[in-house]
Copies of this chain bind each other. A is one copy, B any other.
Amino acid sequence: MFVRQEIARMSGYTPGEQPGARKIIKLNTNENPYPPSQTIAPAVATAVQAGLQKYPDPHATAFRACAGDVLGFDPEWILCGNGSDDILTICTRAFVGSGETIRFPHPSYLLYKILADIQGACVETVDFNTDWTLPDKFAAPSEGLKLVFLPNPNSPSGTVLSPERIAELARQLDCPLLVDEAYADFAEVNCLSLVREHPNVLVCRTLSKSYGLAGLRFGFLVAQPEVIAELNKVKDSYNCDALSIAAATAAIHDQAWLQDNRRKITAGRDQLANGLRELGFNVPKSSANFVFAIHPTAKAKDLFDALKSQGVLVRYMAYDRWPEGIRVSVGTPEQNELLLDMLRELTA
């Protein structure tokens, strides 16, 4: 139907299941199990009352000022997006022409390849080492290489590379290195400070996970102002709406909520990881709000199906050249316990 060959032959990104039924326990898409800050409801109500008939602020100035205060950057270092997927799309379109190359590690976020396919770009993947570190060739020069995605913490592993290692990679690369920090609020380290010293380091964040706002679609990029200025040409003029700007600003202002939530999630992560290890799973040390669990004998697909039949959704992850496993988002303590009980039965 009229579409480009690149589009016709691709199948599109398949998001994790979003069941309609409320009784399902959803541990498959790394959402936060807790509702967001209570400051959001009044902020949204105020924005509605102010009237929605005018266009929103095209630059989300209020959010950028507040996020800048929290993170220690001037607002012109920040670009807002309709979710961090919007940021990844903007960067792909800005940096990579048809036939040029995007590099990212394997296994990692499945969307990177989709974005490359839509853009008509070539893909170079570099396998993680078995301990989830990255080999030096991840920073090797390559003809036509225009953008490197590096999720940190990574999905599905939850593992993190040190900022020192990432600085080393950035120095060797002569194209943008987009560090996708969707899960960084749950980690001990992040790469924000690298942005000041490295014009090619871009750090992407989302409010979907650590602020409990997946339904809102709000992400942002931190990069040097010259980079942000170019990316502004590519984004939709009004890519963030008035309600999401109001809600996101309230959310990032409430750092006490973030710290409290972070404590709960990291405690739940320990509960899950330790419980899974006791059941014989191999679980890499996670710095995210999920864990990746590989069982030596039980088949991951069977575990996924059995859990689903009992009303618990996790993500079944099967990657080329990699043992398959299940990725489990951290739930409430009760949800985590229920899952462990089910898996105890299933792996007995």
**Residues of chain B with a CB closer than 8 A to A7's CB:** 93-94, 230, 233-234
Known: A1-B199, A4-B97, A243-B247. A236 touches B52 (CB 8 A): no
A119: min CB distance to chain B, Å:
8
Q: Is the CB of B216 within 8 A of A241?
A: yes
| Chain B minimum-CB-distance residue to A233 | B12
A233 and B243 alpha carbons, distance in the complex (Å) = 26
Known: A3-B95, A83-B236, A234-B118. A54 touches B18 (CB 8 A): yes
B-contact bits for A19-37, CB 8 A (1 contact / 0 none): 0000000100101111110
| Chain B minimum-CB-distance residue to A96 | B4
A122: min CB distance to chain B, Å:
13
Q: Is the CB of B232 within 8 A of A12?
A: yes
B-contact bits for A193-229, CB 8 A (1 contact / 0 none): 0000001100000001000111111000000101101
**Residues of chain B with a CB closer than 8 A to A48's CB:** 40-41, 44-45
Q: Is the CB of B215 within 8 A of A243?
A: yes
**Residues of chain B with a CB closer than 8 A to A1's CB:** 199, 224, 226-227, 229-230
B-contact bits for A169-193, CB 8 A (1 contact / 0 none): 0000001100000000000000000
- Residue A120 interfacial (CB < 8 Å): yes
Q: Is the CB of A215 within 8 A of B230?
A: no
A157 and B242 alpha carbons, distance in the complex (Å) = 29
Q: Is the CB of B215 within 8 A of A55?
A: yes
A44 and B234 alpha carbons, distance in the complex (Å) = 30
Q: When the two chains form the complex, which single residue of B2, B29, B217 contacts A176, counting CB atoms closer than 8 Å?
A: B2
A103: min CB distance to chain B, Å:
14
- Residue A259 interfacial (CB < 8 Å): no
**Residues of chain B with a CB closer than 8 A to A31's CB:** 53-55
| Chain B minimum-CB-distance residue to A45 | B45
| Chain B minimum-CB-distance residue to A200 | B2
A193 and B41 alpha carbons, distance in the complex (Å) = 41
Could you tell me which residues of chain A, from 305 to 327, have a CB within 8 Å of some CB in chain B? none
Known: A86-B236, A239-B82. A2 touches B53 (CB 8 A): no
A253 and B344 alpha carbons, distance in the complex (Å) = 49
Residue numbers of A with Cβ under 8 A of B are: 1-4, 6-8, 10-13, 15-16, 18, 26, 29, 31-36, 40-41, 44-45, 47-49, 51-58, 82-83, 85-86, 89, 93-98, 111, 118, 120, 146, 175-176, 199-200, 208, 212-217, 224, 226-227, 229-234, 236-244, 247
The 4 residue pairs across chains A and B that have the minimum distance between CB atoms: A12-B233, A215-B242, A52-B215, A98-B98
8 additional A-B pairs beyond A82-B239, A243-B243, beta carbons within 8 Å, are A2-B146, A2-B230, A4-B97, A7-B94, A52-B212, A82-B82, A216-B241, A243-B244
Chosen A-B contacts, 10 in total, with CB atoms closer than 8 Å, are: A6-B97, A7-B94, A13-B233, A29-B55, A31-B54, A35-B51, A51-B215, A53-B213, A83-B238, A241-B244
